[in-house]
Structure 1
Amino acid sequence: MLSLVLLYLTIFAYSEAQQGQIKETKMTVYFQDFSGGPKATVIEITGQPDGLLSFTKFGAMFCTDDPVTEGFDENSAQIARAQGLYVTSALDGSNTHVLISIVFTNDEYKGSTLEIQGSSAQFERVREVAVVSGTGKFRFARGYATFETIYYDHTLHYAVIQCNVTVLHY
């Protein structure tokens, strides 16, 4: 039994040494979110007969594939895609459960991901959720992300959501 414990400790110490020092990365990115029209990047999975999205209906489920840009403007450089699910998880419609992968496409982080999960109080100006993991350059990431809708055009069903991310990773 003692030999198994020593083997485990040796493997663990070797793995830690291979990972290197923990780094902190902070970034601000912008989700370009279209909830309707020909450029829709968010659709309701549960489907409404009239085609209108019901973000406050308990149990409503949405799939998203938003372009993520380095700047506020829709035409700024795209650096990632925000792909995943939102589920309205509060009976009164006040919270959504967020499961999002930020999948990086830019040269610096290409192929790396940040995995975001948690309850998001959708009527709050700033919503905070956990970064629970990552891959590639963000391997073993942990931290948090805040979301703030900084622009919304009701007629175009278009929103710009600022995402501030702070993560620790190897």
Structure 2
Amino acid sequence: MATSFTKSTKLTFIIISLVAIFTSSKADQLSELKQTSMTLYFQVYFGGPNATMKPITFSADPWSFKQFGTIFCTDDPMNVGIDQDSAQVARAQGIYVTSALDGSNTHVLISIVFSNEEFDGSTLEVQGTSKQFERVREVAVVGGTGRFQLARGYATLETVHLDLSLSYSIIEGNFTLWHY
């Protein structure tokens, strides 16, 4: 009987030791919290043959951003500069839902999918209420992958150019992130 107790005790000790080693090495990796700040420019085409934003549901024709219940899908290029010919580093892919009865708020669910060499394959997950007719809006960064693993933070969004005749706008996104 003493022999089986000893084997059981040894096995328990080995399991606890392995768990402690794994947990401490993972904790060391997670303790290296990094801060990243970046500015990217959404190039938004909301009409025409090359539209990067289209309505999925809407209640009137022509559709409008401010119609309650409107859902639209987006796949906008994101560049490092305000000029649409500057280097593209990501795409903003997701949906917006006009969620306020008066059309003032849009719920944002966006994945920023990076394609540049430095962050290729990494993502940032952005979510929150955007007061769409205010000059500067703030939304949460609620997650990330790759170089932005477990990202948390916020982004401010500001429309810096709007050309209704071309159905084109540029939105400056300033991102402040904490990640591992």
Query: Partner of 1:16: helix, strand, or coil?
Result: helix
**TM-score of the aligned structures, taking structure 1 as reference length:** 0.91
1:65 and 2:65 aligned: no
Counterpart of 1:89 in structure 2 is 99
Q: Out of 34, 37, 44, which is 2:55 matched to? A: 44
Q: Out of 70, 76, 87, which is 1:77 matched to? A: 87
Q: Out of 41, 44, 55, which is 1:33 matched to? A: 44
Q: CA deviation at 1:7?
A: 8.4
Give the letter aligned to residue 167 of structure 1: L
- Counterparts of 2:33 and 2:157, CA distance in 1: 25
Residue ranges of structure 2 left out of the alignment (5+ in a row): 1-14
Counterpart of 1:162 in structure 2 is 172
- Counterparts of 1:132 and 1:157, CA distance in 2: 30
Residue ranges of structure 1 left out of the alignment (5+ in a row): none
Rg (Cα) greater in structure:
2
Counterpart of 1:98 in structure 2 is 108
Q: What is the total number of aligned residue pairs between the two structures?
A: 166
1:140 and 2:150 aligned: yes
Which structure: greater helix fraction?
A: 2
Post-superposition, which runs of at least 4 consecutive aligned residues in structure 1 deviate over 6 A?
4-10
Instruction: Give RMSD over aligned pairs.
Output: 2.0
- Counterparts of 2:150 and 2:93, CA distance in 1: 19
- Counterparts of 1:130 and 1:12, CA distance in 2: 29
Q: Deviations over 1:67-106 (max 9, x none)?
A: 0000001111100000000000111111000000110000
| Sequence identity percentage | 58
